[in-house]
Structure 1
Amino acid sequence: MSIPEITQKLLASKKEKGLSFADLEKILGRDEVWIAAVIYRQASASPQEAKLLVEALGLDANYIEELTQYPIKGLGPVVPTDPLIYRFYEIMQVYGMPLKAVIHEKFGDGIMSAIDFTLDVEKEEDPKGDRIKVIMSGKFLPYKKW
């Protein structure tokens, strides 16, 4: 997966400033995962959000316009090779159909929106090793009959 040049610059500035995504969440008033999606060009910011982000990172205002553009979303057509990202792919390979069956049983025939959607990552401390808790919440969209 290639990382866009703007993403590389934003991440370098974030590192240079010693900022975390949680720090940027406080500055922008938006969730840290959403901010990361903007930086990785998977989401677009409003002009005000882009201005706050660019200022927090100490970058030139020229970046504001690009961060407000509609991005091309997705990892691409290949199986991801990054181990962490691949695990989510593997989870869907193993649990995708069972998850689909449970969702249909509870909600009916439809899908979970990826537009009316939130994603949160929490750290759960555990004596056996810390755990990652990923919380996805999407609006149920039933299929229409016509």
Structure 2
Amino acid sequence: MEVLLAHRGGPFWSKRDLGAWSMPKGEYADDEESEAAARREFQEETGIEVTGKLIPLGTVRQHSGKLVTAFAVEADIETTDFKSNLFAMEWPPHSGQDKLFPEVDRIEWFSLADASNKLVAGQRPLLDLLSQATASAASAERCSGQ
């Protein structure tokens, strides 16, 4: 099993690797379904539309207090064909000039072990939830004879 992770864009993250990757994610309004938000945010951060059934993994609280509700999907996604949305920030600091940076500067597939090292600490519990969900799905398939 592999996990698709997104490397955070912008100058603060450009030279960081371990602990600098994230699952594509974003915020959503109270009146938006979490699954619809997950599909929208994935497309905004990667330019790739997620099709297929999403598997709910659960919710974790990051160190910042932010809640992250995650989903998994079985998909074959090419990592070279992505286009992230942009954000503006003053750069260099105190220059008075805003520059645009991609929210995500690259996406890559990782094994669960490698993903654990790459992910920001607050999202690492999602890998355990992913392992549990896939183990449950495999067990259900064996029980139903599929």
TM over 0.5: no
Q: Which has the larger radius of gyration?
A: 1
TM-score for both structures, normalised by structure 2:
0.30
Hey, which of these two has a bigger chunk of helix by percent?
1
Higher relative contact order (CA 8 A, sep 6+): 2
TM-score for both structures, normalised by structure 1:
0.30
